[in-house]
Amino acid sequence: MPHSRSLLRVARRLTSDPVEAEDLVQETLLLAWRNFRQFRAGTDVRAWLFRILFNCFYTQARRKRAVPRTVSVSFAGTDAWSESAAASAVFESIDVTRALAALQVEHRTVLLLGVVEGFTCREMADILSVPFGTVMSRLSRARDALRSQLTCMAKCAGKGAL
């Protein structure tokens, strides 16, 4: 499937669990296949798939209460990087992952769609079934919240090093 990698990347960030993410993408693709007759020719199939993905995610969230989960981060360093640079990259990756996980789902969603997947605000509004202004507001608040989280983590790490 041409868009399955993008769907899986977003699903992993939404669920914070690789197995749940794969199940979510599988359910998304199954629903897309079953309901392909509802797809309107001439529209963006990628946006249609992401809309199905988010509908599945919200449906699953309604069925069960979200439980905090741990995220394992693995890093395969290359010879070109020194060990300290590799360790620094791992810590930065962990910080960003934790900061994203700490965001509200609405904020995390618009960041993933806009920044990672490159959808426009109009496309995000269609995918999420919310007004255009709401997307812009969420995106602004998400960036502020992420910046605040990362700043706080950096300050806390600096105090711990003393």
> Can you give the pLDDT at residue 159?
62
118: left (phi over 0), alpha (psi -120 to 50) or beta: left
Q: What is the rounded distance in angstroms from the CA atom of residue 1 to the CA atom of residue 4?
A: 5
Identify the architecture of domain 83-162 in CATH: Orthogonal Bundle (1.10)
Average per-residue pLDDT for the chain: 79
Q: What is the DSSP letter of 67?
A: -
Extract the tokens encoding 114. Answer: 């806009």
Q: What is the rounded distance in angstroms from the CA atom of residue 77 to the CA atom of residue 86?
A: 6
> Can you give the pLDDT at residue 125?
92
Q: What is the rounded distance in angstroms from the CA atom of residue 103 to the CA atom of residue 141?
A: 10
pLDDT tens digits for 92-132? 667 777 888 888 989 989 988 888 888 899 999 999 999 99
Domain boundaries, the chain: 1-66, 83-162
Look up residue 68 and give its amino acid. Answer: P
Positive or negative: CA dihedral 80, 90, 18, 8: negative
Extract the tokens encoding 133. Answer: 């202004």
Q: What is the rounded distance in angstroms from the CA atom of residue 38 to the CA atom of residue 104?
A: 31
What class, spelled out in words, does domain 1-66 have in CATH?
mainly alpha
pLDDT tens digits for 57-89? 888 777 665 444 554 555 444 444 454 444 455
In degrees rounded to 5, what are phi and psi of residue 117?
-90, -15
Positive or negative: CA dihedral 145, 151, 152, 157: positive
